[in-house]
Chains A and B, each alone.
Chain A
Amino acid sequence: MILNSDKERFTRKFKDFSDFDTGNELYHLLPFRFRRIANNRELLVNDWGDYLLVDNGVVDKLVNRRLSKVLDAEVYHDLLANFFISEKPVPSLIDLISTRYRTKKSFLDSFTSLHIFVISLRCDHSCHYCQVSRVSADKHLYDMNEQHIIKGIEMMLMSPAQHLTMEFQGGESLLAFEKIKFAVQLAKQRAEDKNKILTFVICSNLVPLTEEILEFCKEYNILISTSLDGPSYVHNKNRHRPGKNSYELALSGIFRAREVLGEDAVSALLTTSSLSLQYPVEIVDEYFNLGFKSIFLRPISPYGFAVKNNTKNYYESEAFVEFYKKALNRIIEYNLNGHFFREDYATILLKKMVTPFPVGYVDLQSPAGMISSVIVFNYNGEIYASDESRMLAEMNDYTFRLGSLDTHEYNDIFYGSQSKAYSEALLNESLPGCSDCAYQPYCGADPVLHHATQGDMIGHRPTSVFCHRNMALFDYLFDLMQDKRMERIFRNWITGTHA
């Protein structure tokens, strides 16, 4: 027998509209920022770096509680699953969200890991974009003395980081090879006593490279980082030396170093000059043809003659963005043809955009990486907050000089009043223009660059070359990511695999 109440339960009539939970006003917003991007899309990025691309108008509907759980079911559930909204005032997975936030900032856990020793300021090159070298100068004046090396190593090993990188820079560092030898042997021995793991890097133009140097590098697993600005007609014009053969010597050095140390132990860095801007494709082809698996399209350094000319810097920044896009398109072409060949700056940005992990790249960190990620011991024992800081010092601007190995102890440098004085300019979460920017969780603060180009550590975002360049590149990458083929290539770059 079927009861009346059961009959009602099995009816096939549509339920009343009010029976459906429309979801309006039942959700709570979680912290996120947004930006309008190409193709009538809105980009939403939450504080822990998850992003979502939605159609124009979704943010307005979302904020004004006109987004329906039923009528906008797909976007509603995307927002819910990606932690842009919550159905409870405090989301059930708040611990997970907090862990995600902490993970994004976990580069702070290890504190300063990169220690740059400017072992000599002498150099056989006179590159027009370099502010620091002293060509053929007196080695007693411009090489780091042993006392400073010893004190620098002691200070480096006081860092709480277990993995430390000791990088030798110049001038031309290999002109002071005996000093490098002394430093490496001493640091290795002291690091073993303290259970620290050390990675050594020598930055060199490779001109002074000898078999003895290569054997030493092999014995101590030293990585080589050299400069290659592109084909000879770009490289030799950028990097002047007697004989006008910097390119030929660099290539010879790269091949010899690869032979002895292995391909992975030798990397090359590009410095983009005004001349380079005319040759994006040729520069990419040069790196590819030399067998490099990646290229780092570094922006024009403003620490040269144009440093105080904000308008000129801005135009150069626009030209760089155009150069970068052309070069990146060429790199993508290689990947579409089945090769693994990545661009390192894009890979850093992409890692920040699509993975939960931080990237140890000091220019794109908040708090900024100066002092807390990198420190520089200059050839004369002075200590600087970053590599760019000591370049400024060569232009008689000592704003970022922290002290000296002769007179300062670890705590004076890392926790002293000088380093505290920079703190308000270190966090992009609280910088004007950055605090509302959708790219804030991926970007950084660069007080040294803003001080150098605008005379103010906090900086003026509408005219900042740093902001202009990074916004343009983020926009371009998000635009490209909407193509599934590009997304696949970019994911390969992040994982370092060739699918």
Chain B
Amino acid sequence: MDVYNNCIEIFVPSQYNMQVVHKCLYWFTGKYDIEIIDAVNGINVKISPLNVPFKEDEKNEIRIRINKSLIDYYLREQIQKETKTIRELIIAKAFSHFDDEIIPESLVSDPIGFDPHKLSNDTK
């Protein structure tokens, strides 16, 4: 097997942080050996198939899939960052055991026209 022809190299610009890169490349680790190398303004990713030669059309297909996947994981990261607090709030409320019912306070003291507590006291 020609080792040099059996891998492709993809440059990933530094706008993608390492978490996005790792999450994206994770899904390729079932079939490919992945090597990440530091480069100027980004990283180089070396990809070679596990134990089998690379097919020519496969090389191009992998490039396209990785580029698409990087964009998707970048979007996922944005969503996760932006929703972290509200997600925590929703989960905390879901499993909290306290009753957080707030009785609204307003200038109108008896919004139904009479004070039911006063009424029951009067009729005693």
Residues of A within 8 A of B (CB): 28-34, 36, 47-48, 59-60, 63, 89-91, 94-95, 97-99, 101-102, 105, 432-433, 436, 460-463
Cβ-defined contact, A94 with B90, below 8 A: yes
**B76–A436 touching, CB < 8 Å:** yes
- CB of B90 within 8 A of CB of A47, answer yes
* Chain B residues, Cβ within 8 Å of A31: 79-80, 83, 86-87, 90
Q: Which residues does chain B contribute within 8 Å of A90, judged by CB atoms?
A: 86, 89
| Chain A residues within 8 Å of B78, by CB | 63
Q: Across the interface, which residues of B come within 8 angstroms of A48, CB to CB?
A: 90
Name the CB-closest residue of B to A42. B72
| The residue from B30, B75, B94 contacting A63, defined by CB atoms under 8 A apart | B75
Note all chain A residues with C-beta closer than 8 A to B29: 460, 462
> Nearest Cβ distance between residue A458 and chain B, in whole angstroms?
13
Given contact pairs A47-B90, A60-B75, A63-B79, A462 touches B26 in the complex (Cβ within 8 A): yes
Whether A101 pairs with B86 at a CB distance below 8 angstroms is no
Q: Helix, strand, loop or mixed for chain A's interface?
A: mixed
Knowing A30-B83, A460-B29, say if A101 contacts B73 (CB, 8 Å): no
- Closest Cβ–Cβ distance, residue A69 to chain B (whole Å): 18
Q: Is B95 an interface residue (CB 8 A)?
A: yes
Q: Which of B76, B80, B87, B90 has the most A CB atoms < 10 Å from its CB?
A: B90
B63 at the interface (CB under 8 A from A): no
Alpha-carbon distance between A36 and B31 when the two chains are bound, in angstroms:
21
Task: Tell me the B residues contacting A by CB distance below 8 Å.
Answer: 23, 26-31, 71-73, 75-76, 78-80, 82-83, 86-87, 89-91, 93-95
Q: Is A33 a contact partner of B76 (Cβ separation < 8 A)? A: yes
A102/B26 in contact, CB under 8 A: no
Complex: A462 Cα to B50 Cα, angstroms:
13
Among A28, A31, A95, A101, max chain B CB count under 10 A is at A31
14 A-B residue pairs with CB within 8 Å: A31-B86, A33-B76, A47-B87, A47-B90, A63-B75, A63-B78, A90-B86, A91-B86, A97-B90, A98-B90, A98-B91, A101-B94, A102-B95, A462-B29
Q: Which residue of A lies closest to B28 (CB)?
A: A462
Contact (Cβ within 8 A) B91 A28: no
Q: Is the CB of A59 within 8 A of B75?
A: yes
* Shortest Cβ gap from A114 to chain B (Å): 24
Please indicate the chain B residues that have their CB under 8 angstroms from the CB of A102 in the complex: 94-95
Measured between beta carbons, the chain A residues less than 8 angstroms from B27 are: 433, 461-462
